[in-house]
Structures are given as C-alpha cells and as structure tokens.
Structure 1
Amino acid sequence: MRPAPFEYVEPTSVADACAELHRRADAAVLAGGQSLIAQLNARQRRPSALVGLRLIDELATVAERDGRLCIGASVTQRAVRGASAAPGVLGEALDHVGHVPTRNRGTVGGSLAFADPTAELPAVLLGLGGSVCVRSVRGERVIEATELFTGPFRTALRPDELLTSVRLPLAGPGEHWVFEQRHFRRHAKVSVVAGLRDGRMRVAVSGLADTPLLVQVLAEDADGLPEALAELVTPNADRYGSPAYRARLAEVAARAAVRRLIDELVAA
C-alpha cells in the first residue's frame, strides 16, 4: 500500500515553526534536505509533516557576536565557506563535506542535527568548543558540543525543538587550528580537528566511534595523542571498515594533524 502523503508547511517565523513542531510530534525539519530527502526516498522516515525553514529570514544570517561566529540554521555550507569571518579550519572541513552540489544546498546546522558519526562538522564543533541554540514553545536553550551528540544519528534535541543557530568561537590570540582527513573508502573516513588553546592541545575525531571524541593534553605531551585516542575508545565497526582499520586511520590522521599544527605554529 502506498504511504499517505505528508503535509508540507513553511512558517515565516521561528515561533510559528516551533508551534508546528509542538503540534506534530513526528514532524521533520527541512533545511537543505541533503540527508532528509534521501531518507524519505528510501522510506526510512515517514513524518506526518515537513516544516520548511526557507521563509524564516532570521535563520538565514551569518554574523559575529561576542567573539563567536553565529550561523543560522538555514545558511548553506557554501555560504558559510564564503564568509570572511569563518574560521579557516571550518573552511577546510567544508571542502571535504559531500560534493559541490550537496554543499550548495546542505546546511551546517542540518549536518550537525543529522549527527552522522563519520561527518566532518561535528568534529569541528567539538574541537572548537562550539554550541548550538535550540528553540521550542518552552523557550530557548544552548547545548554545548560536548553534550549534543548522544549516539549514531542521535542528538540531545527534543522532538519539538528546532536548532536555530550554530555558534563557533573565533580563534583567540595564539590559537591555531588544522583539519586532516584520511580514508581509503569514501564511507569509512576519519576526520581530525587539532588546535592549541591555553597551552593545551585539543584534538577532536569523528569516524572512530559512535560520536565524535575530544582529547586534551598539555602541548608538550602532543606526541602521545594518537595513543591517548586508542586508549579512550573501542573504534566503531561497520560494513565499511573494521575497528582495526578505523583505529589505524585515526592514528595516521592525528599524527598528521599534530605535525602540521606544530609546523604552522613555528612558522607563524
């Protein structure tokens, strides 16, 4: 039997969008649609309604506020890549997300809300110590990157909450960040974001476990980061790559990121 069609609504304000999500517990949010449309086509999701964000102007802005880059939920990855204030490491990561056509439509907020454990942008958010703002009929709250990802394709957002913006700290004095990725198969990739902040090396990794991981060590102990990663987690295993395969990718990518970070800091 053919499934019943779902309703499509396009609210013009965040308040109206939140009201729609509150009214329909199983509604889905449509921003860029690069992940959602594929799920709908494969019949993996059958929401009662789609809530489109295209007409909500306040979700379509990129701005600097209080030392952070604030990216609206409907801003495309291409637009963020072209923003002069975007951290360089974010641009590096975006160059590895999907392909040019998907980046033209896909959004930064949508990628984070989708929470693919192998995606690049969750590692950026976690590495930089970013957060997301979410709204519902109950009000607004901020979810830190360390609390956002709860499992493969799962986040701390409640069913009736709308991710409204992504907040990334801008680099402070002496900070520098790099992005590295390693893969032999496109769907079995490991991404690493490494940076120096307050004398500590911060390394975030996606593609190794069910959620992105963050490791922090003193700068003088940076050589031990790959081993620290191996001790923290049992690598994720799926049909694309064995645990040993992912662990090896993480080690190679982490060493490359740390080496490049140190080289660029010395040269600066």
Structure 2
Amino acid sequence: MKPPAFEYAAPSTLAEAVSLLASRNGNAKVISGGQSLMPMLAYRLAAPELLVDLRHLKDLAAIRIEADGVRLGAKVRWCDIENDRRLAVSHPLLAEAIKHVAHYQIRNRGTVGGSVAHADPSAEMPGVALTCDARMTIVGPAGTRVEAAADFFTGPLETSLEPDEILTEVHLPAWPAERRWAFLEFARRKGDFAMAGVALHYDLDGGGRITDAHIGAIGIADRPIRLAEAEAVLNGNQVTDKLIAMASAKARQTVDPPSDIHAPGAYRAALVATLLSRGLKKSAV
C-alpha cells in the first residue's frame, strides 16, 4: 500500500522542529529512522499532514557515557549501540538487549527515540528503559522537561508525549561494575517481536544478599511492566535454586497476559516464569 499524501520538512534546529510540530495542531509527526512510522503510514494507521524529519539534528545522535550514566540521543541507531564497545562495560544489559532487536537492516536505521516514542509493548528498548529507571528528556513549546520511564509509557503505542513535543534523550543511570544482570526473550523467529521477554538486574550486599532488584517484562501487557512482587521475593535474600523458583512462581501468579493469535495468555505467563528463572540462574554465575 502507498502512504497518504503529506508535506515534508527537515528543520536544521530543534527549536524549528518543535515549532513545525506545534503549527499543525496535532497533525504532524516526527520521523527519524522511520522503521515504525513508515509501515503505519503504508497501512493508513497514521495520516499526518506533515512529517518533520530530524536528519539534520546531529546533536541527537550521540552516545555519552558520563559519571551519572549513559545518555542516548534520540537519533542513536541500534547499530551505533552494537558498535560502541564501551557499552559492554558501561551498560551490558543494554548491549545485550539490542542484539534481539529486529534484523540487521532495521538495526541500521531504527533509532532509540523512535522505539521509545512508538512504545510497542513487545519492544526491547522500552523494556530496558523501564527496568533501569531511565529518564526521558522531552522538548516542546513550553521548554524542556524530564520524565521517568514509569510515567512515560501509558498504554499500547501510547506515551505521555504531547503532539508538539520531541523526545531528545534517554538517560540510563550509572551501572555499578559488580551488578548482576540478564536479558532473555522468546520469539517464534529471531528478530520477530517477543512473545515475552525479561530484563533484570540487582546488586549484592556484603553478605551476598540481593539488594535493589529490578525485573521488567515485555510482550505480556499493554506496555512494559515491572514485576514488583517477584522483586520483593528476591530482595534481602541470597540467590539459591529455591529462591529462584519462588520468584519465578510469583511472577507467573501475578502477571495476566492477554491471549492473541500468537499465543494464549497462560502460555505467556508460563514463559515469563521460565525466562525469569533462566535469567536469574545466568546472572548468578
């Protein structure tokens, strides 16, 4: 199918881009990599009057590793993350998750900002952002604001972004060198959207007990979610096979995935428990 007719602009500044969005009263869309938006246009799921292309905004394509964490510009592509060897140390969970994103061709074009703003509940980057307490920098006519990932994702393909706002940066907090972590997902074919996925990280205190456990899941709800009940099972305890079984069972009991043409909800709930069990065992090695 062909996309609907639209006007096109490629502003040279962020302020100009925001102004263009504001001028169309909600009938304009930002485009960067286009890996989510172009299919939506082709299927007439979106029909904006104007596309605002961010290709000239080079400042949004930087990966900055600083004392307070990793800052990903909205135009950073998946292949940029794959090729940045610093991230294997600075944020290994992110580096691992990106290996599961789609296919080679899409990783060459798809962007961090596009994925986060698109907010597909099965996508890896929103899951990582939520699990790691990311903060989003958003620019609009009223200025700049920062929003926590937990407040940013509001529903399936829905976020707190206003039509005249642009997501400019995703900030992942600093990663302790001794942190334990894992990322696992299951899809019918490599590169397909996950039927379910689990991202987790935690630290250990001086007695080897888990502190600050974070467990996120994708593909099982209308947005990425945290498995707070399973986190509570882990916190304050040493990693044992019994503890892993308890946390996995709690995850299975407390999630309520929908059924669809790909899998029944009960299967997805069992899959989350299995992935969590495998992830915890992997992280404990």
Helix, strand or coil: the match of 2:195? Answer: strand
User: 1:214 pairs with 204, 226, 231, which one?
Assistant: 226
The gaps in structure 2 that reach 5 residues or longer are: 205-210, 238-242
- The answer to whether the Cα contact below 8 Å between 1:196 and 1:219 also exists between their aligned partners in 2 is no
TM-score normalised to the size of structure 2?
A: 0.86
Residue matched to 1:266: none
Structure 1 residues 213 and 224: alpha-carbon distance in aligned structure 2, compared to 1, 3 A threshold: farther
- The answer to whether the Cα contact below 8 Å between 1:127 and 1:214 also exists between their aligned partners in 2 is yes
Structure 1 residues 133 and 222: alpha-carbon distance in aligned structure 2, compared to 1, 3 A threshold: farther
Residue matched to 2:255: 233
The gaps in structure 1 that reach 5 residues or longer are: 264-268
Task: Count residues with an aligned counterpart.
Answer: 262
Give the aligned residue type for 1:116.
D
- Whole-angstrom distance in 1 between the partners of 2:149 and 2:251: 18
Report matched runs for 1:108-187 at 5 Å. 108-184=112-188, 186-187=192-193
Deviations 1:116-172 (A, max 9, x none): 111111111111111211100101111111111111111111111100011112312
- Whole-angstrom distance in 2 between the partners of 1:239 and 1:257: 27
Helix, strand or coil: the match of 1:105? Answer: coil
Structure 1 residues 242 and 72: alpha-carbon distance in aligned structure 2, compared to 1, 3 A threshold: same
Residue matched to 2:202: 196
Shift of residue 3, structure 1, vs aligned partner? 8.0
Deviations 1:162-195 (A, max 9, x none): 0001111231243122111123464452111111
Shift of residue 109, structure 1, vs aligned partner? 1.4
TM-score normalised to the size of structure 1?
A: 0.92
- The answer to whether the Cα contact below 8 Å between 2:3 and 2:41 also exists between their aligned partners in 1 is no
Percent identity, aligned pairs only? 33
Residue matched to 2:63: 62
- The answer to whether the Cα contact below 8 Å between 1:190 and 1:205 also exists between their aligned partners in 2 is yes
Please tell me whether residue 9 in structure 1 is matched to residue 9 in structure 2: yes
- Whole-angstrom distance in 2 between the partners of 1:66 and 1:16: 31
Give the aligned residue type for 1:12.
S
Helix, strand or coil: the match of 1:164? Answer: strand
What RMSD, in angstroms, separates the aligned Cα atoms of the two structures?
Answer: 1.8
- The answer to whether the Cα contact below 8 Å between 1:188 and 1:240 also exists between their aligned partners in 2 is no
Deviations 1:195-247 (A, max 9, x none): 11471321111011111111322052554322332333311222222101211
Residue matched to 1:260: 282
- Whole-angstrom distance in 2 between the partners of 1:5 and 1:123: 33
Please tell me whether residue 71 in structure 1 is matched to residue 72 in structure 2: yes
